[in-house]
Copies of this chain bind each other. A is one copy, B any other.
Amino acid sequence: MNRLDLLGFMPFRLNRLATEFSNALAADYARFGIDIPEWRVLATLGMHDAPRSANYVVRCTRTHKSRISRAVGQLAALGFVERLESGDDRREIMLQLTPRGREVYEELLPLLLAREQTLLSCLSPAQASALDDILLTLERSLDLVSHKNRAG
């Protein structure tokens, strides 16, 4: 008779681990009145100086466009992001951080990176490196990493 220890089942483990990581960061997001999808937008825009389209954020973060749309709405309401009309293609909406949005990004980023480091601090350097390598392999296999996305 087949038996499964759920605790060894990879989808379950990943799901649970991802939830724990997310929860560990929730307080930092909440400090600025945002959540995960808003952070993804912020992080994507914060990487660049020039405005990017909402669709670019969608492709770059691999997040559903409705989620990005609502996150942008929230960020705009908070005054962290501005929506600009695109001259080239009036369907596109270009997004850019406001000065306040840039401030928030600069303030939030180190908090999140520190939290990430804390979570990963139980791993040896070799393990951390191996994890990065393994995740990259999985991401490539699942086609989650494309040069198009990385290059922007």
Give chain B nearest CB distance to A14 CB in angstroms.
4
**B-binding segment of A19-27, A68-76, A88-96:** A19-27
Residue of chain B at shortest CB distance from A10: B116
Residue of chain B at shortest CB distance from A145: B7
Any chain B CB within 8 A of the CB of A77? no
User: Given A14-B14, A17-B18, A47-B5, do A123 and B109 touch, yes or no (CB 8 Å)?
Assistant: no
Are B134 and A20 neighbours in the complex by a CB distance under 8 Å? Answer: no
Are B4 and A109 neighbours in the complex by a CB distance under 8 Å? Answer: yes
Any chain B CB within 8 A of the CB of A50? no
Are A15 and B21 neighbours in the complex by a CB distance under 8 Å? Answer: yes
> How far does the alpha carbon of A116 sit from the alpha carbon of B5 in the complex, in Å?
14
Are B18 and A14 neighbours in the complex by a CB distance under 8 Å? Answer: yes
> How far does the alpha carbon of A13 sit from the alpha carbon of B119 in the complex, in Å?
14
Are B135 and A13 neighbours in the complex by a CB distance under 8 Å? Answer: yes
Residues of chain B with a CB closer than 8 A to A130's CB: 127, 130, 134
Residues of chain B with a CB closer than 8 A to A9's CB: 43, 112, 116
Any chain B CB within 8 A of the CB of A125? no
Over the window 1-44 of chain A, the binary record of Cβ atoms lying under 8 Å from chain B Cβ atoms (1 yes, 0 no) is: 11111111111111111111110110000000000100010011
User: Which A residues contact B (CB, under 8 angstroms)?
Assistant: 1-22, 24-25, 36, 40, 43-44, 46-47, 60-62, 106, 109-110, 112-113, 116, 119-123, 127, 130-135, 137-142, 144-145, 149-150
